[in-house]
């Protein structure tokens, strides 16, 4: 009797496993344009961050004002990721105080992302989302910037903030001085490509194409994305 019960249980597990495998169908790129936007790195312009909303009422339009917005302090704009700038401070070997901008890319609460690979060729060739990719998607903890701010200088303590940003999925990995570009390679060949699951549950691919583009856009950062599925 026990053998019969074990046999029936094994069969049920097998069928359950098969059903689970059949539930997921690879997600193929839909009819969506590639979007590219230059985002300000000047913290006086980009004070509260630029919110990027991948899926909106006009996401099939080549360009739309609904794709991104420079936000205000109490803005209700709903975004998937945020391009955010703060100034950090540090002391050099002589004890002199220095500050520099710290551009970073943060996921909105509830948004998931995963680094698929690197380079614009991969971005262009990524047309299918597999189950393995979906299983790698993850959220990130929200950064409490206020806890890193020095009220005297008005800047953020660099070493501690950098350590926190290193735990983000994108964070500041795209920045000059942090991103390593091997000899013989270009920046866009090594910038990371991310799969993002939006707040709506749809999917988009995203990358920074150029942290510091050529003039006249050298004070901006060029980002690139394409919705795969709503």
pLDDT digits (tens, 9 = 90+) for 152-165: 877 889 999 999 99
CA distance linking residue 131 with residue 119, whole number of Å: 22
**What pTM was computed for the model?**
0.87
Contacts of residue 174, Cβ cutoff 8 Å, sequence gap at least 6: 105, 191, 192, 208, 211, 221
For the segment 53-87, what is each residue's pLDDT rounded down to a tens digit?
999 999 999 989 999 999 999 999 999 999 999 98
| DSSP assignment of the chain | -HHHHHHHHHHHHHHHHHHHHHH--PEEP-S--EEEEEEE--TTTSSS-EEE-SSSTTTTSSS-TTSEEE--TT-----SEEEEEEEEEEE-TT--EEEEEEEEEEEPTT-EEEEEEESHHHHHH--EE-HHHHHH-B--PPP-GGGGB-TTTSSEEHHHHHHHHTTSSSBTTTSBTTB---TT--HHHHSEEEEEE-TTS-EEEEEEEESS-STTSTTEEEEEEEEEE-
The pLDDT assigned to 4 comes to 52
pLDDT at residue 137 tops 90: yes
Which pLDDT score, from 0 to 100, does residue 94 have?
A: 86
Would the pLDDT of 117 be above 60? Answer: yes
- pLDDT of residue 112 exceeding 50, the answer is yes
Kindly state the percentage of the chain with pLDDT values over 70: 90
Compute the C-alpha angle 43/48/50, nearest 5°.
Answer: 90
What's the rounded Cα separation, in Å, for the pair 86 and 57? 31
At 197, the pLDDT band (50, 70, 90 cuts) reads: very high
Cα–Cα nearest to 107, from 156, 170, 62, 64: 170
Q: What local confidence, expressed as pLDDT, does residue 22 receive?
A: 62
- Tokens 């091997």 -> residue: 182
Residue range 41-50: average pLDDT?
Answer: 91
Output the CA–CA distances (angstroms, integers) from residue 81 to 7, 20, 78, 115, 140, in the order listed.
Answer: 49, 31, 9, 14, 11
- Residue with the bigger pLDDT between 3 and 214: it is 214
Question: Does 221 score more than 60 pLDDT?
Answer: yes
Closest-CA residue to 175 (of 103, 86, 99): 103
Nearest CA among 78, 71, 74 for reference residue 54: 78
Q: What is the pLDDT of residue 15?
A: 44
């Amino acid at each position: 009797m026990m053998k019969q019960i074990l046999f029936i249980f094994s069969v049920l597990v097998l069928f359950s496993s098969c059903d689970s495998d059949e539930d997921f169908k690879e997600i193929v790129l839909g009819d969506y344009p590639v979007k590219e936007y230059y985002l300000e790195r000047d913290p006086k312009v980009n004070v509260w961050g630029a919110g990027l909303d991948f899926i909106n009422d006009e996401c099939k339009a080549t360009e739309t004002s609904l794709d991104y917005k420079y936000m205000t302090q109490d803005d209700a704009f709903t975004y998937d990721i945020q391009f955010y700038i703060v100034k950090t401070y540090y002391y050099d070997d002589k004890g002199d105080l220095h500050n520099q901008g710290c551009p970073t890319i943060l996921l909105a609460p509830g948004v998931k992302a995963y680094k698929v690979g690197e380079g614009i060729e991969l971005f262009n060739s990524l047309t299918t989302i597999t189950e393995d990719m979906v299983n790698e998607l993850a959220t990130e903890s929200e950064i409490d910037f206020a806890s890193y701010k020095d009220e005297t200088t008005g800047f953020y303590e660099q070493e501690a903030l950098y350590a926190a940003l290193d735990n983000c999925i994108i964070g500041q990995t795209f920045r000059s001085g942090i991103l390593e570009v091997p000899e013989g390679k270009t920046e866009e060949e090594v910038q990371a490509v991310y799969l993002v699951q939006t707040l709506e549950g749809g999917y988009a691919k995203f990358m920074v194409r150029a942290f510091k583009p050529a003039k006249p856009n050298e004070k901006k950062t060029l980002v690139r994305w394409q919705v795969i599925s709503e």
